[in-house]
Amino acid sequence: MLFVLQVADAASKVVITGDDKMQFNKREFEVAAGQVVELEFKNVGKLPKAAMGHNLVILKEGVSALSFGSKALKAGASSTNPLPKSVMDEVLAHTKLLGPGESETIEFVAPAKKGLYQFVCTFPGHYSIMRGIMVVK
């Protein structure tokens, strides 16, 4: 008797939090090239969304979190709309803006190209501190 087992590649699951000190709990995470990534982002802070909201924006290869954060700000990023449409062409994946206690899980396919991809929170004033690297292996 022949058993055919199909073992699906489990999606990489990543959990990242942001807090009232403007910190992501991870500065770096790894995913496999071309694999589906399930990323859960939680705002574990207590301050109001309008004062300390967070999002998590993963940038395309070669886009620096610092220059992207500054560009988003110049494009009109605000505490209610931190990710203006005009800068979306440099974005690989992103969560919405989360207030205290909120979380969101997004799914995206990791780039086929191995390398370093930066991520950032674009709430005004956060990008210089709230940033990190997704390592695609």
| Binding range to Cu ion, per CB under 5 A, among 2-10, 27-35, 40-48, 115-123 | 115-123
Helices marked H in the chain:
49-52, 65-74
Determine if residue 44 is left, alpha or beta; phi over 0 gives left, psi from -120 to 50 gives alpha, anything else beta: alpha
> In 1-137, which ranges are E strands?
12-18, 28-31, 36-43, 57-59, 91-94, 103-109, 115-120, 131-136
Query: CB of 54: closest distance to Cu ion in angstroms?
Result: 4
We find the least distance from the C-beta atom of residue 1 to Cu ion, in angstroms, to be 56
Q: Which of residues 49-78 bind Cu ion (CB under 5 A)?
A: 54
Nearest approach in angstroms of CB 89 to Cu ion is 22
Least distance (Å) between residue 95 CB and Cu ion: 11
Q: Is 126 in the site for Cu ion (CB under 5 A)?
A: yes
- Rounded Cα distance, 137 and 63, in Å: 18
37 vs 131, beta carbon nearer Cu ion: 131
Choosing from 123, 132, 134, 136, the residue that interacts with Cu ion (CB under 5 A) is: 123
CB 121 within 8 Å of CB 18: yes
Q: Is 121 in the site for Cu ion (CB under 5 A)?
A: yes
Nearer to Cu ion, 74 or 113 (CB): 74
Residues near Cu ion (CB under 5 A) are 54, 121, 123, 126, 130
